[in-house]
Structure 1
Amino acid sequence: MFGLSELAILLIVVIVLVGIRKLPGLARSAGTSLRILKSEARAMKRDGAEAEPRAVYEVKPTPPESGPDRPL
């Protein structure tokens, strides 16, 4: 994947682009998002939602546009 030098260069570029003043807010929002994602994943496992099938929709065939009882 990425080596240590590539990650360091990427971090420096992010700091320059985002700005040092906005970096704490960015890290805070990323941490909050990660925390929410983890809690939702735990809730899904606890509720067994992964094993349950999703809603199934029945598809009914539509009648043909033209036929013996319909004009062309």
Structure 2
Amino acid sequence: MGLGPLEIGLIILAILLLFGYKKLPDASRSLGRSLRIFKGEMKGMKDDDVRAKDAATTTPVRGEIVAPASSPSDDLNIRLQEEARTAELRAAELRARADQARAADGSR
């Protein structure tokens, strides 16, 4: 029980009526991009799984200190915390400059 040529033609006609012939290339292009992104993410997840298995199966040499394996989410959290600290320091610096400018304007 497959799709015959009549059913395929009706499906194509319905798609053309819904989207119009002008927007169809844009819709197909964005669908292709979405699929490419999805495939890339799936490949990344598989690579992460392989790395995690490799890290778990490697045994340290006697006396060697092994750091715990960090996951990409741990790296992201650390980077975000560093960016937050940097932003807080920058905001404090700007507040201090603004206070100095107000004090200088008040003394004039």
Note the residue ranges of structure 2 that are not aligned, 5 or more in a row.
Answer: 54-108
Amino acid at match of 1:43: G
| Aligned equivalent of 1:6 | 7
Cα distance per residue 1:24-58 (max 9 Å; x no partner): 10000000000000000010001108x89xxxxxx
Looking at structure 2, the residues matched to 43 and 4 of structure 1 have their Cα atoms a distance apart, in angstroms, of 39
Using the size of structure 2 for normalisation, the TM-score is: 0.41
Q: Which has the higher contact order (CA 8 A, sep 6+)?
A: 2
**Measured at CA, do residues 45 and 26 of structure 1 come closer, stay the same or move farther in structure 2, by a change above 3 Å?**
same
Structure 1 stretches of 4+ moved >6 Å: none
- Structure 1 position 2, deviation (Å): 3.8
- Over aligned residues, Cα RMSD in angstroms? 2.4
Give the count of matched residue pairs. 51
Name the TM-score, length of structure 1 as normaliser.
0.59
Q: C-alpha displacement at 1:3, in angstroms? A: 4.0
Identify, as 1 or 2, the structure richer in helix. Answer: 2
Runs (5+) with no aligned partner, structure 1 = 53-72
